[in-house]
Amino acid sequence: MRVLKIHILLILLFICGTYIAQNSTKIPTDFYKLLQQQKFNEIFSLLDTTNIPKTFIEAQKEKMKPYLTQYGKAKKLLKIIEDDAGVKKKYALLIQFKKGKKNLNLVLNSNQRIFTCTISDYNETPFFQLKGYQGFSEVTDLSTEIKTRDNITLGANIAFGDTSKQKSPCVIFVHGSGSHDRDETIGPNKPFRDLAQGLAQKGIVSLRYDKRGYDYIHLSKTQIDSIDLYTEVINDAIDAVKSAKKNSFIDSTRIYIVGHSLGAMCAPKMAELCPQLKGIIMMAGPAGNLLDIIPEQVEYMAKLNDTISNLESVQINQIKWQVEKTKASYLNDKTPKGLLLLNQSAKYWRSIIQYNQIETAKKLVLPIFILNGERDYQVTMKQFEIWKKEFANYRNVQFRSYPKLNHLFLEGEGKANPDEYNKSGHIPQYVIDDLVEFIQ
């Protein structure tokens, strides 16, 4: 397991500065100079490790040098390409290494710290390229914002096609766990932007927003310490529904939640608390408890190269130990975060343990659409089959699985792995069509 890619673990394994123009590439340029000089301690000091558990910080540090030197010494910086990602900045350093050309990808937060660092295949257009889906040729994508019940302002976009004839149905996109922007950007991929584009061309409006904590620097200590499933995911999604209803061209009686991963898992609770919803769409939503799923994901990634190193074995055992501590009946607010899984608070894990998405969904009468990629190693077909078994006799629930799709609903071949997320792709038209059919 390439531990430097731990951001993928934190983003997708169910938890965990504005630059002036002339200085916009200073950090990536400094990074490259340090890489060329092989000053790895100095490189590590540029990384933002604020929310990463200590167990993983040491593992990152140990594996950083072999990860950054796997293609030999950096010979030449060919180009730096910048992409505006809202409060964060993304850079692709196109580098000639001794063993060939590669992209070194950096994401910086507003505190000018490196949030993620990955190496991917050489690509002169490394960032998201808009895909045209079938339907209307024009899509309007406007910036807006959502004001939450505790007075946090979330940056957002509302996308729509032709709204001149009648009021349109609307979907609210809800992210998986981790620090996601409004597009749920992973590498060069933007799943929510894809879905917004495709749905708009079929006459369906969408609202997508930056997740609370996307730039955690702006959260107070009280807000960070109080995070649970409700404050992280559920409440903001309901507030987004209320915001969407203010738009005159949206049919307020036809608003849907489209949740992905953790967002999908929480969708039944959103529907229970927000009876105005017309339906929920659950994309790769876990059926079981996250505490049981996370160790399986860690082991899967460790075994991708068919061997488990001593360090990986220690990490797996540490995760399992933390899972048992987190499940302990004596768990309370004074339990140190360091003892708990992924450094999350006792309050957060209590909200996970106490929530049963299957039992909550069984109380609902609104339409439910459950989708899964058959190559998804994070929310596997085992989870999908649990949903199917539990809701086999429920007429309001539909199911669909896709043989070629991974956790991001992007196509691939063979055994899925985290490297896929650094390859540019788009959600296939047939997924868009299935969502449209369900909504319309």
Q: What is the pLDDT of residue 223?
A: 75
Running DSSP on this structure, what letter comes out for residue 164? S
Annotated active-site residue in 181, 194, 210, 376: 376
Q: What is the pLDDT of residue 402?
A: 98
**What is the side-by-side strand order in the sheet with 140-147?**
140-147, 153-160, 205-209, 168-174, 250-260, 279-283, 368-373, 397-402
Q: Any catalytic annotation for residue 168?
A: no
Residue 14's pLDDT band, with cuts at 50, 70 and 90, is very low
Share of the chain above pLDDT 70, in %: 90
Residue 13's pLDDT band, with cuts at 50, 70 and 90, is very low
Between the CA of residue 370 and those of 172, 285, 328, what are the distances in Å?
16, 8, 31
- Pairwise CA distance, residues 312 & 287, whole Å: 27
Q: What is the pLDDT of residue 31?
A: 95
Q: What's the rounded mean pLDDT across residues 193-222?
A: 87
What are the residue ranges of helices labelled H in 245-289? Answer: 262-273
Q: Any catalytic annotation for residue 261?
A: yes
Residue 209's pLDDT band, with cuts at 50, 70 and 90, is very high
**Is beta strand 153-160 parallel, antiparallel or unpaired with respect to 140-147?**
antiparallel
The position carrying tokens 């006792």 is 346
Q: What's the rounded mean pLDDT across residues 410-414?
A: 95
**What is the side-by-side strand order in the sheet with 88-97?**
74-85, 88-97, 100-108, 114-121
Strand segments, DSSP code E, in 290-438 are 368-373, 397-402
Q: What's the rounded mean pLDDT across residues 331-345?
A: 72
Q: Among 145-154, 234-243, 304-313, 326-335, which range has the highest average pLDDT?
A: 234-243
Q: What is the pLDDT of residue 10?
A: 31
Mean pLDDT over all residues of the chain?
87
Q: What's the rounded mean pLDDT across residues 329-350?
A: 75
- Pairwise CA distance, residues 88 & 338, whole Å: 28
**pLDDT value at 403 more than 70:** yes
Question: In this predicted model, what pLDDT tens digit does every residue of 217-258 receive, in sequence order?
Answer: 667 777 777 789 999 999 999 999 999 999 999 999 999 999
The pTM assigned to this predicted structure is 0.81
Annotated active-site residue in 120, 168, 261, 351: 261
Annotated active-site residue in 175, 260, 407, 426: 407
**pLDDT value at 94 more than 90:** yes
Q: What's the rounded mean pLDDT across residues 291-305?
A: 87
The position carrying tokens 């505190």 is 111
- Pairwise CA distance, residues 92 & 329, whole Å: 46
- Pairwise CA distance, residues 24 & 85, whole Å: 13
Question: In this predicted model, what pLDDT tens digit does every residue of 40-60 receive, in sequence order?
Answer: 989 998 988 776 656 567 777
Share of the chain above pLDDT 90, in %: 58
- Pairwise CA distance, residues 342 & 254, whole Å: 38
154 within 8 A of 86, measured Cβ to Cβ? no
Q: Any catalytic annotation for residue 243?
A: no
Q: What 3-state DSSP class applies to 98?
A: coil
Between the CA of residue 69 and those of 33, 83, 374, what are the distances in Å?
14, 25, 34
Question: In this predicted model, what pLDDT tens digit does every residue of 82-92 receive, in sequence order?
Answer: 986 666 788 99
**pLDDT value at 3 more than 60:** no
233 within 8 A of 262, measured Cβ to Cβ? yes
94 within 8 A of 75, measured Cβ to Cβ? no
Q: What is the pLDDT of residue 5?
A: 37
- Per-residue tokens: 329: 């009946």
Residue 19's pLDDT band, with cuts at 50, 70 and 90, is very low
Q: What is the pLDDT of residue 55?
A: 59
Q: What's the rounded mean pLDDT across residues 260-270?
A: 98
5 vs 252, higher pLDDT: 252
Residue 260's pLDDT band, with cuts at 50, 70 and 90, is very high
**pLDDT value at 214 more than 60:** yes
178 vs 391, higher pLDDT: 391
